């Protein structure tokens, strides 16, 4: 009995001594030194282990780690902290373990202080490392690419001011059904765009050989309702790329814009819709020439290269946007497509319109007869020739004169999609009414057409004389409104 009591007394003394030593170490040694000591001890013990370990962090510096994304896609989504999954490659067993740690980030106007660091830890036997390591990692990346190509579910990301995990992009599944087959557009122009996208996707060797960043910029411009958003969705579905919908109004500065670019992945489309009105990026060619430029040190002085602050205290500048799309930072990553949309190309600065930020300008015109045939097939399930020669001739003539958008025509077809004859009859009535209205009140579009100028040329002329265009459009609209009021009064 006495011996048992002495044993417990000795054990208590040892535990007390250990507790005292632990407290003393915590007081004497800083937390960083203790953590480094534990890591050193862990590595020392691994020297006697038959396994070797490799960490794959979520972030590679400021860039997204493509290998981490590939491992996450191939192994499984939704692994919690310290969960692991086993894999076999060429008869060799490996194991992936998921690790999540919390850290404090620097204060920011739009990001939370609490940030998660995520990583995968690969465990492999030392004797198998030289045999399969490099080929296994290549296998993971190739398999992830195959999954992305075969997977019909893509993601669309949106940037936000804050996120509970300190991540600037939030994502949801992208299920837009638009494809180039359903896109109401001239067939020749559509084939040209598809061929250009194929060349870009297969152009890695070309871009490396010519010393160019593997990226491409598109500007989609034209009246509202002509299918600019549907075109973006069709491009994403055609290439199997994710979409990053960049909302410039919540980006506080140029540096935060660069950080957003660094957090995007390859094989993606970065979209900036309505670039002419999303933030205050003035057209420098329209700047008043009578004002003398002030010093850059004068906070009240104009800065032609700067967008200044808008109503949201946004200090992002035109220079920052140009560097984002075509500067040195644009090459940090690969296989990215930038797509801009606007309803008013004349409001954009010429620097944005050049090759680099916007390599190709695609005019989204009013609905033509070839585009109308696609709408008839999609909504009514019939080809244009099935309607008879008389109806086809009337539709062809009316749609060219009506200058209606695909969205407006689609609405007529949707309303009567269960009755093909009624849908065609009502569509003809609407088209004729719009054509008569255009012929009666003229306006800029009819004047351009009578002079042999097409819609795309009209947009280019708008760049040269935006004020004249605006005045003439306003006069035409005013005439239409006055006439409508007279009809209602009668």
Do the domain assignments include residue 3? no
- Residues 332 and 447 occupy one common structural domain: no
Q: What is the residue whose two structure tokens read 């497509």?
A: 337
Rounded-to-integer distance, Cα 462 and Cα 221, Å: 12
C-alpha to C-alpha distances, 228 to 144, 381, 438, 487, nearest whole angstrom: 30, 24, 24, 35
Which residue is listed with tokens 């084939």? 191
Position 133 scores a pLDDT of 85
On whether both 245 and 333 belong to a single domain, the answer is yes
Per-residue b or e along 80-102, where b marks 16 or more CB atoms closer than 10 Å to that residue's CB? eeeeeeebebeebebebbbbeee
Residue 328 DSSP label: G
Which residue, of 343, 363, 383, is where some domain finishes? Answer: 363
- CATH number of 198's domain: 3.40.50.300
* pLDDT value of residue 302: 40
Residues 215 and 315 in one domain: yes
Cβ atoms of residues 438 and 401 within 8 Å? yes
Residues 357 and 403 in one domain: no
Q: pLDDT per residue over 422-452, tens digit each?
A: 999 999 999 999 998 888 876 544 444 444 4
CA distance 395 to 427: 9
Same domain, 207 and 83: no
Specify the pLDDT at position 12: 78
Based on the fold, state whether residues 357 and 219 are members of the same structural domain. Answer: yes
Q: Furthest-apart CA pair in the chain: how many Å?
A: 117
14-42: per-residue pLDDT in tens? 877 877 777 776 776 676 676 777 677 66
Q: Please give the residue range of the domain that contains residue 387.
A: 369-489
Q: Which of 196, 194, 218, 191 lies closest to 206, judged by CA?
A: 196
Is 239 contained in some domain?
yes
Please give the Cα distance from 136 to 396 (Å, whole number): 59
How many residues make up the chain in this entry? 490
Q: Are 314 and 246 in contact (CB under 8 A)?
A: no
Our count of domains for the chain comes to 3
User: Quick check: is 190 in a domain?
Assistant: yes
Q: What is the pLDDT of residue 237?
A: 92
pLDDT at 91: 86
Could you state, in chain order, the average pLDDT of each consecutive group of 10 residues for the chain (490 residues)? 71 78 71 70 69 82 76 74 84 86 56 66 86 86 79 81 66 89 92 96 91 92 93 94 91 87 88 83 53 37 45 70 82 86 89 86 93 91 79 89 92 90 91 88 51 49 42 45 53
Residue 188 has, within 13 A of its CA and on its CB side, a CA count of: 2
The answer as to whether 290 is a domain residue is no
What was the pLDDT predicted at 64?
73
Query: What was the pLDDT predicted at 74?
Result: 82
Same-domain pairing of 441 and 319: no
Asked if residue 387 lies in contact with residue 375, where contact means CB atoms within 8 angstroms, the answer is no
pLDDT on residue 178 = 93
**Do both 260 and 323 map to the same domain?**
yes
Q: Are residues 335 and 203 in the same domain?
A: yes
For the chain, the average pLDDT equals 77
Same domain, 336 and 390: no
Q: Is the domain of 350 the same as that of 417?
A: no
Domain assignment present for 63: yes
**Is 15 inside a domain boundary?**
no
Beta bridge partners, 115, equal 103
The DSSP output letter for 250 is: G
Domain membership flag for residue 24: no
pTM reported for the whole predicted model: 0.67
Tell me, what's the pLDDT at 189?
A: 93
In a domain, 19, yes or no: no
Q: Which of 363, 379, 404 is the last residue of a domain?
A: 363
Are both 103 and 192 inside the same structural domain? no
Q: What is the pLDDT of residue 466?
A: 40
Token pair of 177 as six digits: 């059904």
396 within 8 A of 376, measured Cβ to Cβ: no
Q: Which of 101, 122, 151 is the last residue of a domain?
A: 151
Residue 162 Cα distances to 60, 109, 121, angstroms:
22, 8, 29
């Amino acid at each position: 009995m006495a011996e048992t009591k002495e044993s417990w007394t000795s054990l208590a003394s040892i535990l007390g001594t250990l507790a005292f030593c632990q407290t003393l170490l915590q007081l004497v040694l800083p937390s960083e030194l203790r953590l480094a000591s534990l890591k050193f001890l862990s590595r020392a013990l691994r020297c006697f282990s038959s396994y070797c370990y490799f960490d794959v962090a979520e972030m590679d510096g400021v860039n997204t780690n493509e290998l981490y994304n590939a491992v996450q896609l191939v192994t499984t989504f939704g692994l919690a902290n310290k969960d692991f999954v086993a894999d076999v490659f060429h008869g060799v067993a490996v194991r992936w373990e998921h690790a999540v740690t919390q850290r404090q980030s620097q204060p920011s106007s739009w990001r939370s202080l609490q940030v998660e660091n995520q990583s995968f830890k690969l465990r492999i036997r030392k004797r198998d490392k030289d045999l399969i390591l490099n080929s296994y990692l290549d296998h993971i990346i190739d398999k992830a690419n195959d999954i992305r190509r075969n997977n019909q579910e893509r993601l669309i990301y949106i940037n936000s001011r804050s996120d509970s995990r300190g991540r600037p992009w939030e994502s949801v599944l992208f299920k837009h059904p638009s494809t180039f087959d359903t896109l109401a557009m001239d067939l020749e122009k559509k084939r040209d765009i598809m061929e250009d996208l194929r060349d870009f996707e297969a152009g890695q060797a070309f871009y490396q050989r010519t010393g160019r960043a593997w990226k491409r910029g598109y500007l989609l411009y034209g009246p509202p309702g002509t299918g600019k958003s549907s075109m973006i969705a069709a491009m994403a579905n055609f290439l199997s790329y994710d979409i990053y919908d960049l909302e410039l109004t919540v980006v506080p500065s140029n540096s935060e814009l660069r950080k957003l670019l660094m957090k995007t992945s390859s094989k993606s489309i970065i979209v900036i819709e309505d670039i002419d009105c999303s933030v205050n990026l003035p057209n420098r060619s329209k700047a008043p020439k009578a004002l003398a430029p002030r010093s850059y040190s004068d906070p009240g002085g104009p800065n032609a290269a700067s967008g200044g602050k808008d109503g949201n205290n946004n200090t992002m500048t035109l220079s920052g946007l140009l560097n984002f799309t075509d500067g040195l930072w644009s090459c940090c990553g690969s296989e990215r497509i930038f797509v801009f949309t606007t309803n008013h190309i004349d409001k954009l600065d010429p620097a944005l319109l050049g090759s680099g930020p916007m390599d190709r300008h695609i005019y989204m015109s009013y609905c033509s007869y070839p585009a109308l045939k696609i709408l008839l097939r999609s909504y009514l399930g019939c080809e244009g020739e099935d309607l008879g020669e008389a109806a086809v001739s009337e539709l062809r003539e009316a749609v060219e004169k009506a200058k209606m958008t695909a969205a407006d025509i689609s609405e007529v077809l949707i309303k009567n999609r269960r009755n093909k004859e009624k849908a065609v009859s009502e569509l003809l009535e609407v088209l004729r009414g719009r054509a008569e209205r255009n012929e009666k009140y003229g306006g800029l579009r009819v004047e351009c057409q009578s002079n042999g100028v097409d819609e795309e040329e009209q947009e280019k002329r708008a760049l040269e004389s935006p004020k004249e265009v605006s005045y003439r459009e306003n006069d035409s609209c005013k005439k239409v409104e006055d006439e409508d009021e007279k009809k209602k009064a009668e």
